[in-house]
Amino acid sequence: MRTIKTSLAALVALTLLIALPAASTAQRTSVSRDFPVYDNGGKPDLTVDPQRFKSQMEIVDRLFTAEGCDYQEGTVGGTGYRRILRFDTVLMNSGDADLVIGDRSDPANPYYDWFEFSPCHGHYHIHGFSVYELLNLDGTVAAAGHKQGFCMLDSFKYDGGKSNGYNCQNQGITSGWGDWYYKQLGGQWVDITGVPEGDYIVRVTINASGTFDEGTNRYPNVIEQRIHIPDPRKKVTVDDSPALVDN
């Protein structure tokens, strides 16, 4: 589980974690049966946990300022109250080898050029790893998505054995494990401010630039979920909780 900045934010995250364990464990067991670890020639295979993606999707209004990380990093299209469609993304590794990214400070690291330093987060991400989009039913873009950078580590066990202890300094995902980006984290959304009422498709694409060799790549790198967007004038929940930034 990644850590977060500010003591109040940490309390919020801890409350979330206490509330989730039993259901979360059962859910991961169910998902692991659908995406078992397989012989992939000693390579990772990344996919998104579909149950968590769908079950945690919600629409909220949230205040953003020009000084905030989210506006500076381009995950929202403006300042003031914005309407965002947010969701959890759990990257599962169901190949028979770890995804080993390693330490950015090593000049021999094969992914050296893919690391991007995030001043707000205080560590390096793999830039452009995923793309978040809202599509019309005909496949055209309804709301400009953004490319989300990730710091990859082990959060959840789905299958296999013990975690190999990856973190934001030595990044990776153990075979059979998943890396959880919960919806309260900055950037875990699509900005849908002003999008007309109607039916749309939320699409997430991972390993979007083909950064990592996934071998056979049996499991999908794209996940989609149909959703109804309410009239922009209709009130939704306002989230004024402290901003969470993975650290």
User: 171-201: per-residue pLDDT in tens?
Assistant: 999 999 999 999 998 889 999 999 999 999 9
Report if residue 119 sits inside a domain.
yes
Report if residue 244 sits inside a domain.
no
Q: Note down the domain range covering 89.
A: 7-238
Report if residue 164 sits inside a domain.
yes
Do residues 102 and 212 make contact, with C-beta atoms less than 8 angstroms apart? Answer: no
Which tens digits make up the pLDDT trace of 140-151?
999 977 767 668
Which tens digits make up the pLDDT trace of 89-122?
999 999 999 999 998 878 888 988 888 776 666 6
Report if residue 82 sits inside a domain.
yes
d(CA 108, CA 240): 44
Q: Where are the beta strands (DSSP E) in the chain?
A: 46-48, 58-64, 80-86, 89-93, 99-102, 115-118, 123-135, 141-150, 156-157, 171-173, 177-181, 189-191, 198-206, 222-229, 237-238
| Domain count along the chain | 1
Local confidence band at 245 (pLDDT 50, 70, 90 cut-offs): low
DSSP at 112: G
Report if residue 189 sits inside a domain.
yes
Output the pLDDT for position 27.
55
Which tens digits make up the pLDDT trace of 199-230?
999 999 999 889 999 999 999 999 999 999 99
pTM comes to 0.85
Report if residue 1 sits inside a domain.
no
Report if residue 243 sits inside a domain.
no
Local confidence band at 243 (pLDDT 50, 70, 90 cut-offs): confident
Local confidence band at 123 (pLDDT 50, 70, 90 cut-offs): low
Region for 128 from its dihedrals, namely left if φ exceeds 0, alpha if ψ lies in -120 to 50, beta otherwise: left
